[in-house]
Structure 1
Amino acid sequence: EGLNSDFSDFEDALQYFSALRAECDIIITRNAKDFKKSRIAVMTPDEFLLSLK
């Protein structure tokens, strides 16, 4: 799936499709801008840590 996706970065595609298959609720990344079309919530590490408070 990653090879035929719209992701410009192959590693981002691998992370995204792995997260989909694993039924993850959130992708935590420093490159949130690369996941604009994500069907999974995307947060930066700082956003995630703040959400735990």
Structure 2
Amino acid sequence: CQPSRQPTPTPVRGHVFNAVNQNGVIRFLDGQTGGPASFRGYSSFQFTVIAPAKFQ
């Protein structure tokens, strides 16, 4: 069995933000700080689309 020769991945920062549409204006919120999101220090983003919440 040969040891893996794949390069070690470079550590990256990660964080989760929320996006909301308020009357056509997209706002990015940070649930950990309780305020607007700051993208400072991030150079790439991945998005996951989920179904809208349904309130009864």
Which structure has more relative contact order (CA 8 Å, sep 6+)? It is: 1
Higher alpha-carbon Rg: 2
Please state which structure has a larger fraction of its residues in strand: 2
Shared fold (TM-score greater than 0.5)? Answer: no
Q: Give the TM bin, normalised by the shorter chain.
A: under 0.3
TM (norm. structure 2) is 0.22
Calculate the TM-score normalised by the size of structure 1. 0.23
More helix by share: 1
